[in-house]
Amino acid sequence: MNAFLPVTFLSLKVALTATLVLIPTGTFLGWVLARKQFPGKTLVEGAISIPLVLPPVVTGYMLLILLGPKGYIGEQLAILGIRLAFTWQAAVVAAATVSLPLMVRAVRLAVEGVDEELEDAARLLRASETGIFFSITLPLAVHGILAGTILSFARALGEFGATIILASNIEGVTQTIPLAIFTYLNQVDGEGKAMILVVISICLAYLSILASAFLSRKFRHAET
Amino acid sequence: MLKLDLSKTAGDFHLHLQVQVAPSFVSLFGPSGSGKTTALNLISGLAKPDSGEVFLGDTCLFSSSRRVNIKPQQRRLGYIFQESRLFPHLSVQQNIQFGLNLTPAPERRFTSGEIVEICGLQALLNRMPAALSGGERQRVALARAILAAPRCLLLDEPLAALDHNARLSFLRFLRRVHIDLELPILYVSHDISNVINFADEVIILDNGRVVGHGPPKSLLDKMISEPLVASADLSNLFEVRVDSHDPQRGLTLVASEKNEFTLPAISAGVGEQLLLNIPASEIILATSEPSGLSASNILRGAVARINRLPDRVFVEIDAGEKYTVEIVEATVQRLSLAAGKEIFLIVKASSFRRLSGL
């Protein structure tokens, strides 16, 4: 049993870190797309959404081209002494990239659902634009942020294709639950071990669904 | 003093407002689509005029020639919207504190305790907006706007979603706010009858232009004869003096300059001046003097003019004072109404609406 703990722990670490990165960035991008008009908006929308429709392996390969040791950004990072590819942080980048569109989409829909007239009312009560964002828009869109967070966390936990390309499948370093299941299934007698990880996966997924239901009920009660 | 000279074009609608009003109770009146709400949005800074100027006292809020466009946050205008726009995730207390908390201490004029009392919100402070009635919501919106220390209140059809009693109650609070707190008010409505008794000035807007401006009484004729009121319910407004009470029969006798009326008992001192309103659709016409009627008020007069709107007919009758009666074209034919014809007006005691003394 002890062999499965580090894998589970690493998976949670990667998924949680990716989610923590996504909450502010996804919320900001979702709000920008819902409320702001700017040239090239369609291009930005496309760039954010493309991992949703691309095979994750392709997304991973594109990330490797950018961030790998010989990649455009990877070379710059190397000069600073930072090596990203094939580390657990690379697994975070891969997971965050494929989960980002889910987060942005959920936040965007929720922000679009917030009546802009309430924001106008706040403007006439002297609220600054930042103040309106934090005191009106964000609290009224919180269910969308929550839904996006849970969805992103679950997606990050299950991430496989982009991770195996950008972070590789290194035991104890980048081997998350899905990668470990893949490895065990390729071993002659690995099926039993894989099954244990499958059960752990189901438990984690179920827990996040319960957490989501609990939190959304709690926020809904706050408005009545 | 509010000084406006602004233009705005949206699609094929052109708004041009050029008007100057004293810091008092001003009503901006006009049919729907005449540009009233657009005007408020341009004054408040929620929308930007194409050109022109907006001055509040000596403060320039907007000037296209001087490239001034003060943000709505800094205009110090209180805006009460038709649908309240309370923040649904905040309690009544938090809603009314919202603007107050953002108002620098030296600019604050009132404490929340004072305003809560004036607006009658003591029992509602811990409620959420979803649990309030329409009238309560508007009172919360009023308190919230006042606490942000505005120099002028803008109200956009604040009575639209309220029933009759809630309207009277809201107007009572609004009047207290205007008089006790010395707050100038710009009140937008398509139905003037509710505020005419305490509006100091009325601006009539039609199709984006000012077509009348002055004290309300001087504009009554215009409001009634112009087709721009086609969408509003016409009213007969006139001042009366309380003559006597008849508690045994439950009646009050009042007199206008030329006529006497019997009303259901009202609480007003003998000699007190009241403003009464009879909706134009509640007066009955007869060509000969009726008898054996339950209605207690019968006036003798003569047809002065017949105004035909596309789907309604208004007959102006001179019975000492002028009265407007709404009828249908068929009635004009049946009674062979024409200018100069003698006519009797029949008004039920219950058709009178009391406007002043709110």
Mean pLDDT of A186-193: 91
Q: For the stretch B13-28, what's the b/e string if a residue is b when 16 or more beta carbons lie within 10 angstroms of its beta carbon?
A: eebbbebebebebbbb
pLDDT for the residue A112 = 95
Fold (CATH) for B235-357: OB fold (Dihydrolipoamide Acetyltransferase, E2P) (2.40.50)
Phi, psi of B328 (to 5 degrees): -105, 160
Task: Give tens-digit pLDDT for A122-154.
Answer: 999 999 999 999 999 999 999 899 989 999 999
- Cross-chain residue pair B99–A125, CB shorter than 8 Å: yes
Of A22 and B275, the one with more pLDDT: A22
CB atoms near residue B175 (< 10 Å): 16
CB A180 within 8 A of CB A7: yes
What is the CB-side half-sphere exposure of residue B288 using CA atoms within 13 A?
A: 2
pLDDT for the residue B230 = 46
The residue of chain B with its CA nearest to that of A136 is: B87
How far apart CA A10 and CA A181 sit, in angstroms, is: 14
**CB contacts, 8 Å: A139 with chain B:** 89
- Cross-chain residue pair B74–A224, CB shorter than 8 Å: no
**CB contacts, 8 Å: B145 with chain A:** 124-125
pLDDT in tens, chain B (358 residues): 889 999 999 888 999 999 998 888 999 988 778 889 999 999 999 999 999 999 998 999 999 999 999 999 999 999 999 999 999 999 999 999 999 999 999 999 889 999 999 888 999 999 999 999 999 999 999 999 999 999 999 999 898 888 767 777 788 788 888 888 889 999 998 776 666 666 888 888 888 888 888 877 666 556 555 544 544 556 677 778 889 988 888 888 999 888 889 888 887 788 877 777 788 888 899 988 888 887 778 999 999 888 777 677 888 888 888 888 888 888 888 988 888 999 999 998 888 877 654 3
Give a three-class secondary structure readout of B265-325.
CCCCCCCCEEEEEEEHHHCEEECCCCCCCCCCEEEEEEEEEEEECCCCEEEEEEECEEEEE
- Cross-chain residue pair A126–B145, CB shorter than 8 Å: no
Instruction: Check CB contact of A117 with chain B, cutoff 8 Å.
Output: yes
Of B273, B297, B285, whose CA–CA distance to B352 is shortest? Answer: B297
Range of lowest pLDDT (A107-121, A187-201, B230-244, B284-298): B230-244
Q: For the stretch B236-268, what's the b/e string if a residue is b when 16 or more beta carbons lie within 10 angstroms of its beta carbon?
A: bbbbbebeebeeeeebbebebeebebbbeebeb
User: Where does residue A138 rank: exposed (0-12), middle (13-18), buried (19+ CB within 10 A)?
Assistant: middle
Q: Which of B37, B100, B102 to mutate to test the interface with A (most CBs of A within 10 A)?
A: B102
Mean pLDDT of A51-63: 94
pLDDT for the residue A109 = 95
What domains lie within chain A, and their CATH numbers? Answer: 2-54+88-223 (1.10.3720.10)
User: Which tokens sit at A205?
Assistant: 């997924």
A126: left (phi over 0), alpha (psi -120 to 50) or beta: left
User: Which tokens sit at A90?
Assistant: 């690379």
- Cross-chain residue pair A120–B72, CB shorter than 8 Å: yes
CB atoms near residue A72 (< 10 Å): 10
pLDDT for the residue B320 = 84
CB A175 within 8 A of CB A10: yes
- Cross-chain residue pair B88–A131, CB shorter than 8 Å: no
Of B179 and A46, the one with more pLDDT: A46
> Å from A223 to nearest chain B CA?
5
Enumerate the domain spans of chain B: 2-223, 235-357
What is the CB-side half-sphere exposure of residue B267 using CA atoms within 13 A?
A: 2
pTM of the model: 0.75
How far apart CA A51 and CA A103 sit, in angstroms, is: 12
**CA-based torsion, B226, B231, B236, B242: positive or negative:** negative
Q: Which of A116, A126, A135 to mutate to test the interface with B (most CBs of B within 10 A)?
A: A126
Q: Which residue has the tokens 């290194």?
A: A170
Kindly indicate the confidence band of residue A104, based on its pLDDT and cuts at 50, 70 and 90: very high
Q: Which are the contacts of A107, defined by CB distance < 8 A and separation ≥ 6?
A: A26, A27, A29, A30, A31, A34, A141, A144, A145, A148
- Cross-chain residue pair B148–A139, CB shorter than 8 Å: no
Long-range contacts of B301-307 (CB under 8 A, 24+ apart): B301/B342, B301/B343, B301/B344, B301/B345, B302/B340, B302/B341, B302/B342, B302/B343, B303/B337, B303/B338, B303/B339, B303/B340, B303/B341, B303/B343, B304/B339, B305/B225, B305/B339, B306/B332, B306/B337, B306/B338, B306/B339, B307/B224, B307/B225
Distances (CA, A) of A177 to A51, A197, A204, B164: 21, 7, 11, 66
- Residue pairs spanning A and B at CB distance below 8 A: 61
CATH of B2-223, one of 3.10.690.10, 3.60.21.70, 3.40.50.300, 3.30.1330.10: 3.40.50.300
CB A125 within 8 A of CB A132: no
pLDDT, mean over chain A:
92
